[in-house]
Chains A and B, each alone.
Chain A
């Protein structure tokens, strides 16, 4: 690495100022497209046919399924960020992991609440401990909260970053184990019906609104994530400026 300017996009993005400029330019557009997609997606969702068995409650799916997907994607983003912190010492990776944790917890909570609301009329209970999917998502939620507690417990950001990254990666390894271990129990939750080898098993009239909503949720996640990352970078700059001012005053 001879010059700092001639790098690929990855190293260019490592410069927080460049990230701030770029994300500042992109964010309004992303927010706009997110709002548009939500408008279209919700319109399609409310015009989609009702299920002959589940009636109107099937519309909960348009929130529940994207939120559940996002809860897992957010953890994946955190795990990639954790690798970035540990392997490349990428300065934005730890900002990304820290910013993603509360968002992931929020999506997981949303998936749990909508699942619970859907479960009451369908299964007859708000909560079913026998259900594998519900239980493993709940464990994921606990892990998000534990990670947030860990990030907040360590005052020094760089130390917090590396310790959190280690725990995130151990948790990421554990997620498949949790998923398969709970599948030993009898399960109420329906199996995957969108992503399958032989194509989606649900009707296009329900599938398309669901996909639009999923796209809207994904964009919402990245909008929130970028805003949170920007806020975190500014927060760190303010903290270091205060420290410098305090040192100058002393």
Chain B
């Protein structure tokens, strides 16, 4: 399993892996927003945390179709299906590797992108913390969509359509935790802990459902 983690990580970080494309997309989304809503710094500071979250959500959706697609193309997915260790564990490790390669850079980049949006220091820390615990949930939910879409032509678009509604709770609790950190009456810890709970919940359900879907689509 450790070897699989390292292999997946290397594959996605090398040329053609497309892991860093996500950051570029994230940057582009954030750069588009001030052009759309205007350069009003106060407005940007207010809506900034939400848009950083939405940008991270869209950017992590972008790379998800590659989670199982490459392994299917070169046949290693069939070997993973046949090996004796449980497929659920394999999927979980693949998700972790995928998140480390694509999700973690987004989380690290988010404070710098927050600078563009005139976000305060506290809010930036809150965005960073919520993305750190929340973005794995998006990868784990997305694993189900990726496993379903792996055998389909034009699976990438279908994946986004299936995964986006399911990831709405992550977005809601992430943004409300950030708002809780900025504005006084709203609590920070409550939505933050809910976010952690959602991530842990999908750490169980996501790989289970994705493994079932991989088995269903392989034969």
Chain A, residues 174-217, CB within 8 Å of chain B (1/0): the string is 10011001101100000000000000000000000000000000
> Which of A142, A170, A182 sits near B172, CB closer than 8 Å?
A182
Binding site secondary structure of chain A: helix
> Which of A150, A163, A178, A181 sits near B216, CB closer than 8 Å?
A163
Q: How many residues of B contact A (CB 8 A)?
A: 28
**In the docked arrangement, what's the CA distance between A169 and B206, Å?**
11
Contacting residues, chain B, for A86 (C-beta < 8 A): 212
B200 at the interface (CB under 8 A from A): no
B93 at the interface (CB under 8 A from A): no
> Which of B152, B162, B166 sits near A154, CB closer than 8 Å?
B152
Closest to B218 in A: A159
Contacting residues, chain B, for A177 (C-beta < 8 A): 169, 198
Decide: B168 and A167 in contact? CB cutoff 8 A.
no
**In the docked arrangement, what's the CA distance between A171 and B191, Å?**
21
> With A159-B216, A166-B144 in contact, do A181 and B162 touch (Cβ < 8 Å)?
no
Closest to A184 in B: B176
> Which of B166, B168, B194 sits near A170, CB closer than 8 Å?
B166
A61 CB, nearest partner CB in chain B, Å? 27
Scan residues 130-157 of chain B and give those whose CB is less than 8 A from a CB of chain A. 141, 144-145, 148, 151-152, 154-155
Decide: A143 and B172 in contact? CB cutoff 8 A.
no
Decide: A166 and B165 in contact? CB cutoff 8 A.
no
Q: How many residues of A contact B (CB 8 A)?
A: 26
**In the docked arrangement, what's the CA distance between A173 and B217, Å?**
22
A14 CB, nearest partner CB in chain B, Å? 20
**In the docked arrangement, what's the CA distance between A124 and B117, Å?**
33
Contacting residues, chain A, for B191 (C-beta < 8 A): 184
Chain B, residues 153-175, CB within 8 Å of chain A (1/0): the string is 01100100110111011001100
- Report which A residues bind B (CB closer than 8 A): 86, 139, 142-143, 145-146, 149-150, 153-154, 159, 162-163, 166-167, 169-171, 173-174, 177-178, 181-182, 184-185
- Report which B residues bind A (CB closer than 8 A): 141, 144-145, 148, 151-152, 154-155, 158, 161-162, 164-166, 168-169, 172-173, 176, 191, 194, 198, 205, 209, 212-213, 216-217
- Chain A to chain B contacts (Cβ below 8 Å), 20 pairs: A86-B212, A139-B165, A139-B168, A143-B165, A150-B148, A150-B162, A153-B158, A154-B152, A162-B212, A162-B213, A162-B216, A163-B148, A163-B213, A163-B217, A166-B212, A166-B216, A167-B144, A171-B165, A177-B169, A177-B198
